[in-house]
Structure 1
């Protein structure tokens, strides 16, 4: 693939979760869109960031459609870094980021989707969720806070919720940033060694890591249960940070292109106006 070429959505088929494609089938070290040198890939990422800015501007001007990008992944998978690089050229005017932490006492007093409704994108907006409602079908089952029956019910609620968003004008892009056990170990170790990254490290990171296999199974089940035609899951191999960013940027740009966005028609009332 040359620097100017863009892979079609068909190229993402292997990484889209379906009854035939599961998380286990995808190698976190894959680099399906890697090409040329590091400089070539960084230049391509910048080109995609510029195009994303143009597409987002058209989305914002149209005030009809909405886009929701959901980023999920284990600790150190690179959700923050993905946002930083993919949106490096985008105006903040119509882009919003919501970070989902452990639910507060007030949030726990409501249903698990209550806190999501307030941060869905409005008309013309592109919203990024750094973690999401999927935390509520990952952490609670692994930690034993909810049983299998409740987990299944939540899968159903999520599918209904995302169908509601889709049917009211929201295009949903869901990316699971997939890293290996060894890659996570190295990144956690880097956080401990680097004073500039040490603040990111938390003791909970190690307790979660100790349950690596349980979380892999939880992700496997959640992705299979909630990858739907209106809100499919894409697994993004994330051992390579640069390739991860490139793949997410390409997926998002291609999705916006396929929406066939258009600027609103000019206001003819001003067609003969001369500004002095």
Structure 2
């Protein structure tokens, strides 16, 4: 059984990521299913406690970005890792194809709208990174669909360089204002993705998860690997790190993500709420009032 060492998966820009050398499967963090469930429950309780402390302190927030290819397990990971967290302290937003309204704004606009309040965890299921991933693989989206000024699309290398700069600046700005951005790339192998897509086709109850377009996108596998590698290397910083998570084993993936969330929340310098003797004394006077309301 493997010990948690999240440094193996953390990228801050000090080293260069090579996705082909990054594992999609590692030794298990759990002994069996019962052990996995026990660790997951323990992590959920820790995340809930840390989020509660962050909420009561009300100075910091956390943005957790989840990026991955189709069938890597984003939805299930978010569901299992945060299942024990107070719903009032978590906001989940899934980014789909941009709407007409969103296309009438800059590429970061719709993400700004969904940022969490202080004291809460904002979870982005896909994010602004789609605009340097999908558009990198399919540049015709930029030149034909995004209503950009013509002069900005004449040099796409320059356009992406500017977008990386804008993303780094946004995440730096958030950090300076008390919001930590933690980014996860769920790294699944091509074979495992194929097995999961086929499973969705073979199980009628999972057909709703399958989109025919997923098969077409597999033809661009190598291009997506290159796009992710470049995006991570261009935007990984110490204050907004990327974690490249082996995703061929869903249980391992969830436990690793949970451990990282706990570690990142634990770094925030919020204090335990301090008892206020005067307030405690004043509140005691309300007990007989409440009891009297039962009569």
Q: Smaller-chain TM-score range?
A: over 0.9
TM-aligned CA deviation for residue 268 of structure 1: 4.0
Q: Deviations over 1:155-184 (max 9, x none)?
A: 111000111101100111111000000000
Larger radius of gyration: 2
- Unmatched segments (≥5 aa) in structure 2: 143-155, 289-295
Superposition map of 1:1-276 within 5 A: 7=4, 11-17=5-11, 18=13, 19-31=15-27, 34-145=29-140, 146=142, 147-273=156-282, 274=284, 275-276=287-288
Distance in 1 between residues matched to 2:211 and 2:30, nearest whole Å:
36
CA contact (8 A) 2:17 2:229 kept: no
Distance in 2 between residues matched to 1:103 and 1:20, nearest whole Å:
31
Distance in 1 between residues matched to 2:97 and 2:62, nearest whole Å:
24
Distance in 1 between residues matched to 2:167 and 2:137, nearest whole Å:
18
- Unmatched segments (≥5 aa) in structure 1: none
Distance in 2 between residues matched to 1:203 and 1:73, nearest whole Å:
18
RMSD between superposed Cα atoms in Å: 1.6
TM-aligned CA deviation for residue 59 of structure 1: 1.0
CA contact (8 A) 1:69 1:126 kept: yes
Q: Deviations over 1:229-251 (max 9, x none)?
A: 11111100000000000000000
Distance in 2 between residues matched to 1:263 and 1:22, nearest whole Å:
41
Q: How many residue pairs were aligned?
A: 269
Distance in 2 between residues matched to 1:168 and 1:93, nearest whole Å:
21
CA contact (8 A) 2:59 2:118 kept: yes
